[in-house]
A and B are shown apart, each in its own frame.
Chain A
Amino acid sequence: MKNTTLRLLAILFAFAMVAAACGDSDDDSGGDSGSEADAGDGGDAPAAGGGDFEDVTIDYWLWDGNQQPFYEQCAADFTANVQPGITVNIEQFGWGDYWTGLTAAFASDSAPDVFTDHLARYPEFVESGVLVSLNEFVERDGVDVDQYFPGLAELWTSPDGERFGLPKDFDTIAMVLNTDMLDEAGITLEDFANAEWNPTDGGTWGELIQRLTVDANGVRGNEDGFDPSNVAVYGFGIEGAFGAFGQTTFSSFAASNGYVATDGPWADSANFDSPELIETLQFFADWIEAGYVTPIEDVESLGGTTIFQSGGAATQTNGSWMISTLSGDATEVPVAYAPLPVGPEGARASMFNGLADSITQSAENPDAAWEWVKYMASPACQDVVGTGAVVFPAIPSAATIAQEAHAANGVDVGAFTIHVDEGTTFLFPITDSASRIEDIMGPVMQQILRGEGTAADLIPPAAEQVNQVLGS
């Protein structure tokens, strides 16, 4: 009796252990064979010469629903004209779900073959070794990485020279203006295009913002008797939570003040404690307090763009990917765009960010995945995306198509492209541990904008924490 019992228990535990062992060995071999396979494939591939595929399905993820129809078009063209043996299956998720789903998929080694990658995320993927290096593919097929806007391709190269994505698009930042409110205040687009900003008194840009601010009694921000505690229209609307790098919020202002977030990509320290940043942050906190800028609590609960679109703010800064949303047919406020103000350093500054497509280690057929990535990074697909007028493709000729498509819709997007034309862009700061940094800086920014402390007091300890994370 006891023997049977023991035997059964032994079987049971053996089962559990086998399951456990399977888990381990599979995980290991999964990772190993993945990298071996692609080294091997890379070696074989030149002979195959990007050869033929049969019944291969590539899973591709993206988060921007507005772009999905154009990538569907690309996928159809790709299967019809380029690789009849490869079918592309596109899945779209909202921004939040996208990264959670991707993380879970990586954890269980079931990630899509190819996905739209973001500069804030990819260093962590590189560190974890879940992306396939594209070097051999690029070399083999002689892809010209100089065909993109300068700097975009390099963003996707790790310090040891491995390339993990091919650029698909780029984005810049500009001022978004409610023209009705500008007219009421007697301000022209040129006024904004020529505006200068500084963190001390806001400069001429600040004067414009004050004039655009109206309190509940109709008194403007530059007039006597303005009541900052009862504002009807804020002159400037913060786009969203500041976060660590403030792409659409403070980054343009801080950079035009001389702030450089990191000394180059993958730096092992960041410059959060720089006085130029602290001044800039304090400027926004003070101007919220003074009633010219939207309170951060409102922005967090409603979204900065909603506030702008519902007339709660006369202007905001926003990214070029929002043009179609902001200028769409059904929006209620008339919108125009102006370049960012010129800062104390004598120039405008827009963050220059770009997305790329990466191949994962989970890809069963990295060669086929590469064919799709290569196609998306080629003029054939980027022209299609350009006609969509949702984003600016990474290839200049395709970006021109996008600009023309915008113009055909009656939207002048020159305020976004001027930063590229005049070379007044700075690159998205690429760091490893970006989510840790976000976790440290995000709450501090919230505190500063809530007036719970000054930037000068709150930033230095957080900056030190960030440098500890980066240094380790």
Chain B
Amino acid sequence: MSTASSTTVGVGGGQSKTVGARFGRSTAWLILGVIILISVFPFYWATRTGLTKNSALLAGDSGLIPDEPTILNFKRVLGLASDEEILEATGQAATGSFDYVLALRNSVIIATLVTAGQVLFCSMAAYAFARLRFKGRDQLFFLYLTGLMVPPIFILIPNLILIKNLGWLNSFPGMVAPFFLMTPFAVFFLRQFFLGINRSLEEAALIDGASHFTIYRKIILPIATPQLVTLAVLTYVTSWNEFLWPLVVAPVDENVQPLTVALGSFAAQNPGSAPDWSGLMTGTILAALPMLLIFFVFGKRLVDSIQFSGIK
């Protein structure tokens, strides 16, 4: 009973409560501010590193703003710098670069295909699990769910061999195949939502003689648009960030490699003995750039759709 709040019961205690609350609120704001700073600072720091020469970095140029900013790193990572410039900047005759535009295009193709396929086919499956009644439905759904537990590494090699037998190595079909038709998560996620949709509309439609395909297309999909968008966002981000699978499907073929793999090999290419930090950070920031742009354009919608997945 001797807690601070007990004093606020009386009218006079109001004052002390506001003071305490104000103090609490400013502390909370401070904590929030620190967390926000930690969230964004690495991106700033990587950009700043990309704008600095390696030699300057090793010489201890570590202020918040580079002493002598240069865009040379961006030029050489994109393969636009001349050999002389590179030699001067890094002391290396050859330096890694990667075809950024090509890798970007590949990432877009892969993520778009996977997202389109997954949203369509998983919404169909989710409809079946949520609305249709057929023998073994729950067992089949449970089987799908166990797929969530299977570590990707476990199925990596059998899938790789399958893709090879289909002749899809180093190709977009090979890149997207395992994720195009379904992932257990997508089915699970949409089913949960479909279960929550009020059935009365559909029942009325059925009585009017509508088929299940009509109901799925004309009723469920429109109602579930926000959830489909959410799933699409999640799928797009996941697919964009995929690393191991594209690496093994196309370890060499730059024509189909997404940004993650291109950045990975760029990091491993490191021709000299010293880590080429400014080059690496330039590559890293360039690889992060598309997501940053998507974020700045669709930020609000993105946040809303992730939130949707939380409400279930």
- The interface-forming segment of B38-46, B73-81, B87-95, B293-301 is B87-95
Q: Assess whether A65 is in contact with B251, with CB atoms less than 8 Å apart.
A: no
Task: Give the chain B neighbours of A93 by CB distance below 8 A.
Answer: 251-252, 265, 268-269
Chain A residue at minimum C-beta to C-beta distance from B261: A97
Residues of B within 8 Å of A101, CB to CB, are 247, 251-252
Q: Per-position contact with B for A382-424: 1 when CB-CB < 8 Å, else 0?
A: 0000000000000000000000000000000000000000000
Smallest Cβ distance from B234 to chain A, in angstroms? 28
Which residues of chain A are within 8 angstroms of B273 by Cβ–Cβ distance? 303, 305-306, 309, 322, 325
Q: B205 to nearest A CB, angstroms?
A: 23
Flag whether B231 is at the interface (Cβ < 8 A). Answer: no
Give B78-104 interface residues, CB cut-off 8 Å to A: 87-88, 90-94, 96
Please give the distance in Å from B121's CB to the nearest CB on chain A: 15
Is the CB–CB distance between B275 and A23 below 8 Å? no
Given A93-B268, A101-B251, A101-B252, A329 and B164 touching (CB < 8 A)? no
Chain B 249-273 interface mask (CB, 8 Å, partner A; 1/0): 0011000000000001101111111
- A279 interfacial contact with B, CB 8 Å: no
Q: Which residue of B lies closest to A110 (CB)?
A: B169
A94-126 interface (Cβ within 8 A of B): 94-97, 100-101, 104-105, 107-110
CB of B161 within 8 Å of the partner chain: yes
A: number of interface residues (CB 8 Å): 38
Which chain B residues in 262-290 approach chain A with CB under 8 Å?
264-265, 267-275
Contact of B272 among A61, A100, A108, A325 (CB under 8 A): A325
B120 at the interface (CB under 8 A from A): no
A330 within 8 Å of B (CB atoms) = yes
| B165 is an interface residue with CB less than 8 A from chain A | yes
Q: Known: A101-B251, A328-B91, A330-B88. Is A94-B160 also a contact (CB below 8 A)?
A: no
* CB proximity of A93 to chain B, nearest CB, Å: 6
Q: With the chains together, A101 CA to B269 CA distance in Å?
A: 13
**Interface residue from A100, A303, A330 paired with B275 (Cβ < 8 Å):** A303
Query: Chain A residues with Cβ under 8 A from B4's Cβ?
Result: none
Complex interface: chain B residues within 8 A of A91 (CB): 252
Task: Judge whether B157 is part of the interface by a CB distance below 8 angstroms.
Answer: yes
**B150-168 vs A, Cβ < 8 Å mask (1 yes, 0 no):** 0000000110111111000
- B9 interface contact, C-beta 8 A: no
Ordered by A's residue number, 14 sampled pairs between the chains whose C-beta atoms are within 8 Å are A69-B94, A93-B252, A93-B269, A94-B267, A96-B268, A97-B251, A97-B268, A101-B247, A107-B161, A108-B164, A108-B248, A110-B169, A325-B272, A329-B87
Beyond A93-B251, A306-B273, A329-B91, 13 extra complex contacts between A and B, CB < 8 Å? A94-B265, A94-B268, A97-B268, A97-B269, A105-B251, A108-B164, A110-B164, A303-B275, A309-B273, A309-B274, A310-B58, A330-B90, A330-B92
